[in-house]
Amino acid sequence: MKMQLIRYKVFQFKSVMDSGWINCDDVTTLVGVNEAGKSNLLLALWKLNPAQDGEINFTDDMPVTLLTELRKKEKKPQFITAEFRIVDRELIQKIVKLAGCNEEDIETVCVSRDYDGTKFISFPNYHPFEGYLPGEIVDYLNEKLEQINNSTEGRTEAGIKEEAITKIQSALAEINDCELIGDEELASIETAFSQIDAQEMKTSTIRPLMLQVVERVKELRKAFEKQSPASVADVRKLVIAGMPKFVYYSNYGNLDSEIYLPHVIENLNRKDLSSVTAAKVRTLKVLFEYVNLDPREIMEMGGPRQVGLNDAQIEEYNEKTKQREILLQSAATKLTRDFRNWWKQGEYIFDFKADGPFFRIWVSDSKRPERIPLENRSTGLQWFLSFYLVFLVESKDSHENSILLLDEAGLSLHPLAQKDLISFFDNLALSNQIIHTTHSPFLVSPANIERARVVYVDKEGYTAVSEDLRAAEDRQRSKSVYAIHAALGLSVSDVILQGCRPVIVEGPSDQYYLNAIKQYLISNKLIAPKLEVVFLPSGGVRGISQLASLISSKESLPYVIIDSDRNGKAYRDKLIKELYTGSESEKIIEIGDYTSISDAEVEDTIPFALLDRYLGHVLHSSDQEFSDCYDDKKPIIPQIELFANNNEITLPDGYKVEMAKAAKVLLQGKRAPELPKEYVDRWVNMFSKICG
Distances (CA, A) of 102 to 93, 107, 341: 10, 9, 43
Looking at 302-349, list the stretches that DSSP marks H as alpha helix, in order from N- to C-terminal side: 311-342
The predicted pLDDT at position 497 comes to 47
Q: Given this model, what pLDDT does residue 670 score? A: 65
CA gap 56, 116 in Å, rounded? 8
DSSP 131: -
> Are residue 265 and residue 370 in the same domain, yes or no?
yes
Query: Closest Cα to residue 507, out of 476, 540, 535?
Result: 540
CB neighbour list of residue 611: distance below 8 Å, 6 or more residues apart: 603, 636, 659, 662, 663
Cβ neighbours of residue 501 closer than 8 Å, sequence gap 6 or more: 529, 531, 532, 533, 534, 559, 690, 691, 692
* Same-domain check for residues 234 and 218: no
Examine the domain organization and report whether 195 and 259 are in the same domain. Answer: no
Is 267 found in the same domain as 157?
A: no
Domain identity same for 263 and 141:
no
**Within a 10 A sphere around the Cβ of 135, how many other Cβ atoms?**
9
Residue 626 lies in a domain: yes
Last residue of a domain, one of 488, 516, 539: 488
CATH of the domain at 13: 3.40.50
Q: Which of 398, 414, 445 is the last residue of a domain?
A: 398
Q: Is 494 within the bounds of a domain?
A: no
Q: Does 367 fall in a domain? A: yes
Cβ atoms of 566 and 599 closer than 8 Å? yes
Residue 676 in domain: yes
Helix (H, G, I), strand (E, B) or coil at 317: helix
Q: Over the range 515-548, which residues count as b (16 or more CB within 10 Å of their CB) and which as e? A: bbbbbbbeeeeebebeeebbbbbbeebeebbebb
- Asked if residue 162 and residue 15 are part of one domain, the reply reads no
Same domain membership, residue 216 and residue 362: no
Residues 616 and 517 in one domain: yes
Of the three residues 374, 398, 422, the one that is the final residue of a domain is 398
Amino acid identity, position 331? A
In a domain, 55, yes or no: yes
* The overall pTM is greater than 0.75: no
Q: Is 241 exposed, middle or buried (0-12, 13-18, 19+ CB in 10 A)?
A: exposed
Q: How many domains would you assign to the chain?
A: 4
**pLDDT tens digits for range 533-567:** 888 888 788 888 877 876 776 567 889 999 998 88
Q: Could you tell me if residue 390 is inside a domain? A: yes
> Are residues 235 and 261 located together in one domain of the fold?
no
524 and 673 housed in the same domain: yes
Count, residues in the chain: 692
263 & 379 share domain? yes
Distance CA(676)–CA(269), nearest Å, equals 62
The residues facing 108 across adjacent strands are: 85
pLDDT in tens, 201-227: 566 788 888 888 888 988 888 888 777
Q: Tell me the β-bridge partners of 112.
A: 81, 120
Residue 550, in any domain of the structure: yes
- Of 271, 229, 665, whose CA–CA distance to 429 is shortest? 665
* 493 assigned to some structural domain: no
CB 563 within 8 A of CB 601: yes
Residues 647 and 555 in one domain: yes
Q: 452-457 and 463-466 as β-strands: parallel, antiparallel, unpaired?
A: antiparallel
d(CA 347, CA 363): 10
pLDDT along the chain (692 residues), means of 10: 92 95 92 89 95 86 85 85 94 90 88 94 87 86 88 77 86 83 86 66 77 88 81 92 89 67 81 72 76 77 65 78 84 85 76 80 84 76 76 61 87 73 81 89 77 88 84 64 64 56 89 91 89 84 79 76 90 89 90 90 93 86 80 93 89 88 83 85 93 80
Show the domain range for 444.
Answer: 1-127+227-244+401-488
Cα(29)–Cα(443) distance, rounded to whole angstroms?
8
